[in-house]
Amino acid sequence: MEGIKNFLELINDNWTLIVTIIGLILAIYRKIKNYLSKSEEEKKEIALTQIRQSMLELVVKAEKEYGEKTGKLKRSKVFEEIYSKYPELKNIVSQEDLEKQIDDIIDENLETLKKMLENNKDFEEFIYSFKIK
Protein backbone atom coordinates (compact mmCIF):
# COMPACT_ATOMS: atom_id res chain seq x y z
CA MET A 1 0.00 0.00 0.00
CA GLU A 2 2.84 2.37 0.81
CA GLY A 3 4.23 1.92 -2.73
CA ILE A 4 0.91 2.84 -4.34
CA LYS A 5 0.61 5.88 -2.07
CA ASN A 6 4.12 7.05 -3.03
CA PHE A 7 3.36 6.50 -6.73
CA LEU A 8 0.14 8.54 -6.52
CA GLU A 9 1.97 11.33 -4.67
CA LEU A 10 4.64 11.35 -7.38
CA ILE A 11 1.98 11.69 -10.06
CA ASN A 12 0.15 14.38 -8.07
CA ASP A 13 3.34 16.40 -7.53
CA ASN A 14 4.54 16.13 -11.15
CA TRP A 15 1.37 15.91 -13.23
CA THR A 16 2.20 18.98 -15.34
CA LEU A 17 5.62 17.61 -16.19
CA ILE A 18 4.14 14.21 -17.05
CA VAL A 19 1.49 15.77 -19.32
CA THR A 20 4.15 17.92 -21.03
CA ILE A 21 6.40 14.92 -21.67
CA ILE A 22 3.49 12.90 -23.09
CA GLY A 23 2.59 15.83 -25.35
CA LEU A 24 6.17 16.13 -26.60
CA ILE A 25 6.36 12.42 -27.30
CA LEU A 26 3.11 12.57 -29.29
CA ALA A 27 4.30 15.61 -31.26
CA ILE A 28 7.61 13.92 -32.13
CA TYR A 29 5.77 10.74 -33.12
CA ARG A 30 3.48 12.71 -35.46
CA LYS A 31 6.41 14.56 -37.05
CA ILE A 32 8.29 11.33 -37.67
CA LYS A 33 5.19 9.60 -39.03
CA ASN A 34 4.46 12.58 -41.29
CA TYR A 35 8.04 12.65 -42.62
CA LEU A 36 8.17 8.91 -43.25
CA SER A 37 4.89 9.04 -45.17
CA LYS A 38 6.31 11.56 -47.67
CA SER A 39 7.50 10.51 -51.10
CA GLU A 40 11.17 10.55 -52.03
CA GLU A 41 10.59 13.74 -54.06
CA GLU A 42 9.05 15.50 -51.06
CA LYS A 43 11.93 14.36 -48.82
CA LYS A 44 14.38 15.62 -51.43
CA GLU A 45 12.62 19.01 -51.53
CA ILE A 46 12.73 19.28 -47.72
CA ALA A 47 16.45 18.54 -47.75
CA LEU A 48 17.05 21.08 -50.52
CA THR A 49 15.17 23.74 -48.55
CA GLN A 50 17.44 23.19 -45.59
CA ILE A 51 20.49 23.18 -47.84
CA ARG A 52 19.39 26.43 -49.47
CA GLN A 53 19.11 28.12 -46.09
CA SER A 54 22.52 26.78 -45.07
CA MET A 55 23.95 27.83 -48.41
CA LEU A 56 22.70 31.38 -47.99
CA GLU A 57 24.30 31.53 -44.57
CA LEU A 58 27.56 30.28 -46.07
CA VAL A 59 27.38 32.81 -48.92
CA VAL A 60 26.92 35.61 -46.40
CA LYS A 61 29.81 34.30 -44.33
CA ALA A 62 32.07 34.03 -47.39
CA GLU A 63 31.03 37.50 -48.59
CA LYS A 64 31.91 39.01 -45.22
CA GLU A 65 35.14 37.05 -44.95
CA TYR A 66 36.55 37.49 -48.47
CA GLY A 67 34.88 40.66 -49.75
CA GLU A 68 34.54 41.62 -53.41
CA LYS A 69 36.41 40.30 -56.45
CA THR A 70 37.01 36.86 -54.96
CA GLY A 71 34.08 35.09 -56.55
CA LYS A 72 35.80 31.80 -57.37
CA LEU A 73 37.31 31.59 -53.91
CA LYS A 74 33.96 32.30 -52.23
CA ARG A 75 32.18 29.83 -54.51
CA SER A 76 34.65 27.04 -53.77
CA LYS A 77 34.44 27.78 -50.04
CA VAL A 78 30.63 27.55 -50.11
CA PHE A 79 30.69 24.24 -52.01
CA GLU A 80 33.36 22.84 -49.71
CA GLU A 81 31.33 23.64 -46.61
CA ILE A 82 28.05 22.40 -48.11
CA TYR A 83 29.61 19.05 -49.03
CA SER A 84 31.27 18.70 -45.64
CA LYS A 85 28.05 19.62 -43.82
CA TYR A 86 25.84 17.35 -45.98
CA PRO A 87 27.95 14.40 -47.19
CA GLU A 88 24.81 12.39 -48.00
CA LEU A 89 24.08 14.77 -50.88
CA LYS A 90 26.27 12.65 -53.10
CA ASN A 91 23.67 9.87 -52.82
CA ILE A 92 20.64 12.08 -53.44
CA VAL A 93 21.58 14.72 -56.00
CA SER A 94 24.29 14.73 -58.63
CA GLN A 95 27.08 17.22 -58.07
CA GLU A 96 26.25 19.06 -61.29
CA ASP A 97 22.57 19.47 -60.33
CA LEU A 98 23.46 20.71 -56.87
CA GLU A 99 26.03 23.14 -58.21
CA LYS A 100 23.49 24.47 -60.71
CA GLN A 101 20.89 24.98 -57.97
CA ILE A 102 23.40 26.67 -55.69
CA ASP A 103 24.61 28.91 -58.52
CA ASP A 104 21.00 29.85 -59.30
CA ILE A 105 20.36 30.76 -55.67
CA ILE A 106 23.54 32.82 -55.52
CA ASP A 107 22.65 34.62 -58.75
CA GLU A 108 19.08 35.29 -57.59
CA ASN A 109 20.16 36.72 -54.25
CA LEU A 110 23.56 38.27 -54.94
CA GLU A 111 22.36 41.85 -55.31
CA THR A 112 20.21 41.60 -52.20
CA LEU A 113 23.13 40.16 -50.25
CA LYS A 114 25.45 42.93 -51.43
CA LYS A 115 22.95 45.64 -50.48
CA MET A 116 22.50 44.09 -47.06
CA LEU A 117 26.27 43.93 -46.57
CA GLU A 118 26.56 47.60 -47.50
CA ASN A 119 23.80 48.58 -45.09
CA ASN A 120 24.99 46.24 -42.29
CA LYS A 121 21.52 44.74 -41.94
CA ASP A 122 20.82 41.51 -40.11
CA PHE A 123 21.25 38.58 -42.50
CA GLU A 124 19.44 36.02 -40.35
CA GLU A 125 16.10 37.69 -41.00
CA PHE A 126 16.66 37.46 -44.75
CA ILE A 127 17.99 33.91 -44.67
CA TYR A 128 15.14 32.46 -42.63
CA SER A 129 12.49 34.27 -44.64
CA PHE A 130 13.84 32.72 -47.85
CA LYS A 131 11.32 30.46 -49.54
CA ILE A 132 11.66 28.04 -52.44
CA LYS A 133 10.12 29.37 -55.59
Both 46 and 29 in one domain: the answer is: no
Task: pLDDT band for 122, please (50, 70, 90 cuts).
Answer: low
Give tens-digit pLDDT for 5-17: 999 999 999 999 9
Structural domain harbouring 25: 2-36
Average pLDDT over residues 64-93: 75
Both 99 and 119 in one domain: the answer is: yes
Phi-psi region of 120 (alpha: psi -120 to 50; beta: other; left: phi over 0): left
Highest mean pLDDT among 19-33, 39-53, 66-80, 102-116: 19-33
- Percentage of residues of the chain with pLDDT beyond 90: 20
What is the spatial distance between Cα 100 and Cα 119, in angstroms, rounded to a whole number?
29
Does 131 score more than 50 pLDDT?
Answer: no
Other beta carbons within 10 angstroms of residue 14's beta carbon come to 12
Both 81 and 18 in one domain: the answer is: no
Q: How many domains does the chain have?
A: 2
What pLDDT does residue 112 have? 67
Both 52 and 78 in one domain: the answer is: yes
Both 82 and 105 in one domain: the answer is: yes
